[in-house]
Each structure stands twice: as C-alpha cells, then as structure tokens.
Amino acid sequence: MPRKQRIDLAGYHHVINRGVNHSKVFMEDEDYETLLFLFK
C-alpha cells in the first residue's frame, strides 16, 4: 500500500534525523543545540 501524500505548505518543512538501526544521531546535547542554531 503506498504512503499518503505529503502535505506541502509553503515555508514548513519536516526534518527527521535517525541513525542507522535507530542509533543515536547526537551524542551530546551540544550537538543537537548546534543543529537547531543552524536551522534558525
């Protein structure tokens, strides 16, 4: 069964960060905070 169509709203993006086999992507809180800063 195919997936549902994504909602396309101007200016909104959904970002998923997932490691291989659901492993952690960020080892330190600072790494996560840096990513959020870059997204701003």
Task: Name the DSSP class of 13.
Answer: -
- Taking the whole predicted model, whether its pTM rises above 0.75 is answered as no
Per-residue confidence (pLDDT) for residue 30, from 0 to 100: 96
Report the pLDDT value the prediction gives residue 29, as an integer from 0 to 100: 93
| Cα first-last separation, the chain | 36
pLDDT at 37: 93
H-run or E-run covering 35? helix 29-39
Kindly report, residue by residue over 2-29, the tens digit of the pLDDT: 888 777 777 776 667 678 888 888 889 9
pLDDT of residue 26: 87
Contact 19, 25 (CB under 8 A): yes
| Token reading at 17 | 């960060």
* Domain extent for 14: 1-40
- For the record, the structure tokens of 32 come out as 């996560």
What's the structural domain count of the chain? 1
